[in-house]
Amino acid sequence: MPLDRNAPPLPPVVLRAVPGADHVLTPEALGFVAALQARFGLRLHALMVARARRQERIDRGELPDYLPQTREIRQGIWQAAPVPPALEDRRVEITGPVDRKMMINALNSGARVFMADFEDATAPSFANVIAGQANLIDYRDGTLDHDDPATGKSYRVGPNPALLVVRPRGLHLPEANVLIGGQPVSAALFDFGLSLYHCGRALAATGRGPFYYLPKLEAHGEARFWNEVFAFAQDRMGLAQGTIKATVLIETLPAAFEMDEIVWELRDHIAGLNCGRWDYIFSYIKTLRNHAAYVLPDRAQVRMEDAFLAAYAARVVKVCHRRGIHAMGGMSAAIPVRGEAEANEAAFARVRADKQREVGMGFDGCWVAHPDLVPVAQAVFDAAMPGPNQIRKPRQQWRIEPAMLLKPHQGRITEAGVRLNIQVAVEYLAQWLSGRGAVPIQNMMEDAATAEISRAQLWQWIRHGAPVALEGGGERRLTADWLGELMQAEIVRILDRLGPNGFHRGHYASAARIVQEAATAETLPDFITLPAYDLLNALD
């Protein structure tokens, strides 16, 4: 059971010794995490129960809609607190894991902001999480550097680094290596608490933080939860109320119907909303899992300019600009293709077109996954957005009806699409179990959201008996048995590529089993990373 918020904090028990833990998990820092858990643990448990109950109602036939009880908030004339000067210009943000070398490269990339990601881009082994927190401390102290013994290269943070923003793990995730009262602490409170305790005052003193991205919120009650966490934490740390600023990722379908309410709950602490589009596609499938009318085609045909994704992006801009905060565009996951000039230029052209669409819609900035893409995206925003942002450009002419946020994309489900989903899900999850959260696959930098989409689509297609266009012509319904045959063919392909030793060292058997079980479960599992996390801890 969660801890009683009125009881005095119990001391945390750390189950695993990893490098850097003495520096990060000081008694004072752990005491701060314990205070957060004691204060908010029961609330968090209640919010997760509310998520499950809302999903049960949707499974029974109810569809997401705007909330009648919050109409006055949606229709009211109000704005959030002003965005601080350090966050006024966010035209290009780069995201990546909290790996030391990758953090330095991202900080030096020329992007305005770097999101250090403890969530989908980091495989949350305890060693990775603690190393990431140690890296934040070194960033605070100006000692974040790296000498690579394999290449002889040295990495140092340059004189004008990107602004650091931290993304803690989602509210649904535990940190199984730290127990309080015999129960795992919240991974979200753990990541947030350690980073704020160690770095919050120093960042506030320079006006460069502490800033956060909040992932996977589903309702305005969860935004209220974070607002109360911020208020409590600022009081404990001696920071002025409103010092913490957060950008909320709108990456779940339920949250798309509560954007105004989310901003309202965080109005003293919010800096913007972001289109977390890959997780949003996954959430669309998961939320509407029992509704055959909302089956999606191959992932490649689910494009931002169409159907529910276009309506969602338009609503992000409309709400943000009405409330005086940033509307941040989505991730361009393409990466450079070394040694293939034509393929490389095609990747850059896709990024350029994506950013032109975003800046034309009114977005104030965008995400990229690789340093080489920063100048590509920046050139687009520089040409179309001479000021620091477009917040003063309203988009109130867009009327977004609930049906528009639910409209499915049209297209075909193909055998190639099925095989690709199997390949991407297994490859990513095997890499994740090996400790890597950001993985290049087929010239794209993928994170956990891609694996979630891939396995959720497989489940959806089996659940609703979707017809699959075969490569040799004709159609066939996707079944668990056929999926098993295709999974076996993928395993053979991996064995041919890596050999038996590479296959077993790479955890491909475990990855294939987890994907197969998730895709054929009676009920679509909420997150594939939850069962995978147990195995990751066993392997760590």
Residue tagged active-site, from 91, 167, 289, 323? 167
Q: How long is the chain? A: 540
For residue 175, give the H/E element and its range. strand 174-180
Separation CA 215–CA 76 (nearest Å):
26
Is 133 within 8 Å of 139 (Cβ atoms)? no
Interacting residues of 195 by C-beta distance below 8 A, sequence separation 6+ = 133, 136, 166, 168, 210
Closest CA to 181 of 48, 45, 18: 45
Q: How many CB atoms lie within 10 A of CB 123?
A: 26
Separation CA 538–CA 540 (nearest Å):
6
Kindly list the distances between the CA atom of residue 249 and the CA atoms of 166, 252, 263, 501, in Å, as whole numbers in the listed order: 13, 8, 11, 40
Separation CA 303–CA 260 (nearest Å):
25
Find tokens 């990107």 and name the residue: 162
- DSSP summary character for residue 269: T
Separation CA 304–CA 313 (nearest Å):
8
Does the CA dihedral 345-346-347-352 come out positive or negative? positive
Q: How many CB atoms lie within 10 A of CB 35?
A: 17
Residue 447 annotated to the active site: yes
Residue 167 annotated to the active site: yes
Separation CA 385–CA 524 (nearest Å):
42
Q: Write out the two tokens for 498.
A: 């890596």
Kindly list the distances between the CA atom of residue 349 and the CA atoms of 232, 353, 356, 386, in Å, as whole numbers in the listed order: 46, 6, 10, 22
Phi and psi for 179 in degrees, rounded to 5?
A: -110, 145
Q: Write out the two tokens for 110.
A: 């020329």
Residue tagged active-site, from 289, 357, 447, 455? 447
Is 429 within 8 Å of 535 (Cβ atoms)? no
H helix runs in 122-163, sequence order: 126-141
Q: Is residue 336 reached through a cis peptide bond, with omega within 30 degrees of 0 on the bond before it?
A: no
Q: Write out the two tokens for 524.
A: 């679509």
Catalytically active residues are: 167, 447
